[in-house]
Amino acid sequence: MKRMLVVFFVFLLLLPSQGFAADTVADRVIQTAKQHIGAPYQFGAPLGDTRSFDCSSFSAYVFGQHGIHLPRVSADQARVGTSVSRSNLQQGDLLFYDTNGDGRINHLGIYISANEMIHASSSVGVHITNPFTTYWTPRFVTARRVIPVISPVVQQPTGDIYTVKSGDRLSLIARQFSTTVDALRSHNNLTSDLIFIGQQLRIPQINQTVTQPAPAPSLTSSSSVTHTVRSGDTLWMISRQYAVTVDQIVSWNQLSSNVIHVGQVLRVAPSEQKTYTVKSGDTLWKIATENQTSVQTITDLNRLSSSVIHVGQTLLLP
């Protein structure tokens, strides 16, 4: 009997170590991506349609399955997350390329290792290739990390713990717990507004002092509202925070490109805030359609907790 136990113990020691590998978000992203190897390429493939992909619908779909929601096109995805140097690439980072040589990002892949990325190419469809061959290297533009970095837990006053669900955003969670996005980022050591399903966030107690940047200015004033650019900010992230579009911020600030720098002061609302007074028969969908915006934008801009509105109510419009 003893001999059998010794043999069994030795057998356990000889099992492949990868059988016990940690299942990280990056691991799950790559596993999901590999499930679609061989899917054909289709330019402009509908987001969520797994019968075919283009490069950006593929990455948006794969990351979306793990609670990380990316914009639809590659150029916009290149503005999300944090910049990563080629020497610091990690599994799950996004690699962006200019294949036309016109200075515009038009392709991307998901980094697996020094010799592997998975992407949807126009010639092959979804497959794995070397991201830094003689073809890809001169066309490489930048890399972005969109998987949130989970910082080690630091000792600090306790508060409520919230587990992120599908559809959650930091702004919605902040509103639910009567706190701010900046307070959530500071309390959880987040480097961006990206969160994923299943992630646990500490909610700062209302009477707790947290070192944080000044909260975003209120959008209820009729005067111009500004935002001071912080490290890690992108125009896309700022536009989400203030429920406006990137094009509106570019227009209001007369920017010639999407490049911004720390300390730059940006207008994030028009000089005079547009408003609408609710009339009988109005719905948020009707108001949004008539004013060429979306229900979600109006909801975020007015901090609405539901779609219920009443006659005489004044709503802010983008």
| DSSP per-residue letters across 80-101 | SSEE--GGG--TT-EEEE-SSS
Instruction: State residue 205's pLDDT score.
Output: 67
Tell me the pLDDT tens digit for each residue of 234-277. 887 787 777 777 877 887 787 877 788 888 888 877 666 677 88
- Poorest-confidence range of 69-73, 88-92, 142-146, 234-238? 234-238
Q: Which overall architecture, per CATH, does domain 274-317 show?
A: Roll (3.10)
| Greater model confidence, 192 or 154 | 192
Pick the CATH number of 226-267 from 3.50.50.60, 3.30.420.40, 3.10.350.10, 3.90.550.10: 3.10.350.10
Q: Which CATH class is domain 148-214?
A: alpha beta
Task: For residue 192, give the 3-state DSSP assignment.
Answer: coil
Confidence of residue 67 (pLDDT cuts 50, 70, 90): confident
The Cα 148–Cα 166 span in angstroms is: 16
Instruction: State residue 312's pLDDT score.
Output: 80
Return mean pLDDT, the chain: 79
Taking each continuous run of H as one helix and of E as one strand, the counts in the chain are 10, 12
Active site residues: 55, 107, 119
CATH code for the structural domain at 23-145: 3.90.1720.10
Choose the most confident range, by mean pLDDT, from 11-20, 63-72, 85-94, 228-237.
85-94
Instruction: State residue 311's pLDDT score.
Output: 82
Rounded percentage of the chain residues whose pLDDT exceeds 90: 30
Task: For residue 3, give the 3-state DSSP assignment.
Answer: helix
CB 177 within 8 A of CB 188: no
The Cα 129–Cα 113 span in angstroms is: 10
**Where in the chain is CATH 3.10.350.10?**
148-214, 226-267, 274-317
Give the CA angle between residues 137, 142, 143 to the nearest 5°: 105
Average of per-residue pLDDT across 5-15: 46
Q: Report the predicted TM-score, pTM, of the whole model to 2 decimal places.
A: 0.49
**Where in the chain is CATH 3.90.1720.10?**
23-145
Backbone φ/ψ region at 133: left (φ over 0), alpha (ψ -120 to 50), beta: beta
